[in-house]
Amino acid sequence: MSPPSGQRRRVGVLISGRGSNMASLIEAAQDPAFPAEIAVVISNRPGAPGLARAEAVGIATETIDHKVFGDRASFETALGDGLARHGVEFVCLAGFMRIFTDPFAERWVGRMLNIHPSLLPSFKGLHPHRQALGAGVRIHGCTVHFVVPELDAGPIVAQAAVPVLAGDSEDTLAGRVLAEEHRLYPLGLRLVAEGAARLERGRTVYADGAATTLGLRPDAR
């Protein structure tokens, strides 16, 4: 399925750190058939390693340092201006470590995605792998979801599961989940950018064929 307008959707990726999920989105978008292009990468942390990774492949970057703003709302105004400068229609949070005010999150509802390294609604917030090991779950994973004002609580777009293995540390478990994140986030963005997954009345609604895009059985939801 191609984007409704026949145009590729312009995506802004927000990062705070190394940017490996950002890199997986950039790589997916290098395929001209992918329904989105990465218009800009914005970091709230000066010198975040992901910025150099994006610049190395010719993607526009900006740094909007939250520390130079007096409050959250003025930081978000600058962020909104940065996204507008690049004509951004959809936003992907990729290791972006700031929490939005409700009005900013609401402005982007249905057009902003996040990836969280757990099978939501389990293990929201910080240290999800530590939480998973502590809870003794046997299956862990990652979730792409629409962003809503409440942290890690938005409607789910896509999930992938990994086993928790005997002897796992936070690091080994994080590595196994991260490999799935890199596969899943481009698939989630693809669905949303082409209109095959939409947020309607607080729920994710899928078009026919969305499950197949995700590599699931056709009747999966």
Binding site for ligand GRF (CB under 6 A): 15, 17-22, 94-95, 115-117, 178, 181
* Of residues 13, 73, 77, 80, the one with CA closest to residue 48: 13
**Own/partner long-range contacts of 58-63 (Cβ < 8 Å, ≥24 apart):** 59/26, 60/86
Of 116, 129, 140, 145, which residue is the catalytic one? 116
The residue sitting closest to ligand GRF, measured at its beta carbon, is 95
To ligand GRF, the closest distance from the beta carbon of 112 in angstroms equals: 14
**Active site (annotated) includes residue 116:** yes
The span from the CA of 91 to the CA of 189, in Å, is 10
* Of residues 33, 75, 29, 31, the one with CA closest to residue 54: 29
Q: Which is nearer to ligand GRF, 24 or 213 (CB)?
A: 24
Report whether 91 contacts 145 (CB < 8 A).
no
Q: Which is nearer to ligand GRF, 1 or 63 (CB)?
A: 63
Q: Which is nearer to ligand GRF, 57 or 205 (CB)?
A: 57
Q: Which is nearer to ligand GRF, 117 or 154 (CB)?
A: 117
To ligand GRF, the closest distance from the beta carbon of 30 in angstroms equals: 17
With a CB cutoff of 8 Å and minimum separation 6, the contacts of 5 are: none
The CB density around residue 106, as the number of other CB atoms within 10 Å, is 12
The span from the CA of 116 to the CA of 51, in Å, is 21
The span from the CA of 53 to the CA of 133, in Å, is 31
To ligand GRF, the closest distance from the beta carbon of 121 in angstroms equals: 15
To ligand GRF, the closest distance from the beta carbon of 218 in angstroms equals: 28
Instruction: Kindly list the catalytic residues.
Output: 116
